[in-house]
Chains A and B, each alone.
Chain A
């Protein structure tokens, strides 16, 4: 039981390049989330998927797209990376089977855009 896994762990992009961050969970959770963490800012929600087939914007969705590929996988795409997207990205999952939808987090992807 690996929990929430994310790939890659590190990535360096040039401005304008695109990439997809991958996230998978093996806990049979319905809901999945993408957050970004910046120094002194805490974590901010980018997008979430309450259930397979649905996605919704969070607090900071601009410049990102998401795909809920199936119940296990939720990807985050940067179409044209900008230096402002340099951050640590965390994926999380949750489920109505848990008492209060507490979220379980992956190890993060550290992205640098030059």
Chain B
């Protein structure tokens, strides 16, 4: 079975500051990892995905994440926060390939201070 832990249910940063959202996973087999973003009253949008092709993954809106097997982590970063980044962010894992559902973390609410 796999699981995801997102540290910090709320993260607050100033506009222009570094964004760091933490995600740790557990999986008995090589995982596939995803970050999704949810804006208020909307569905989830895929930000980026880890496919084992590269440990540093670039996504949309200037976000990137680095897969670190030794730390079982997949933290999400953005060099400079923008007001439009305020949203809920979810890390998700699936053990191996295939059509099984995703296991999600509980989410991190990102607050951007002007």
Contact = CB atoms under 8 A, between A and B. Distances in A.
Nearest to A103: B102
B90 A48 contact: no
Contacts of B103: 45, 59
Interface in A85-112: 90, 92, 94, 96, 99-108
Interface centre among B42, B100, B106 (most CB of A within 10 A): B100
A48 B45 CA distance: 19
Interface size class of B (residues with CB under 8 A): 20 to 34
B44 A48 contact: no
A19 B9 CA distance: 33
A43 interface: yes
Given A40-B9, A42-B105, A101 B99 contact: yes
Contacts of B97: 100-101
A42 B106 CA distance: 4
Interface in A3-31: 4, 30-31
B43 A107 contact: yes
Nearest to B105: A42
Contacts of A50: 98-100
A65 interface: no
14 contacts: A4-B43, A30-B99, A35-B104, A41-B106, A43-B102, A45-B101, A45-B102, A50-B98, A50-B100, A59-B101, A99-B49, A101-B97, A102-B34, A108-B42
Given A31-B99, A107-B42, 19 more contacts: A30-B99, A40-B9, A42-B90, A43-B92, A44-B104, A45-B102, A45-B103, A48-B99, A48-B100, A59-B103, A92-B44, A99-B49, A100-B32, A101-B94, A101-B97, A101-B98, A101-B99, A105-B36, A108-B43
Interface of B: 4, 9, 32, 34, 36, 42-46, 49, 51, 90, 92, 94, 97-107
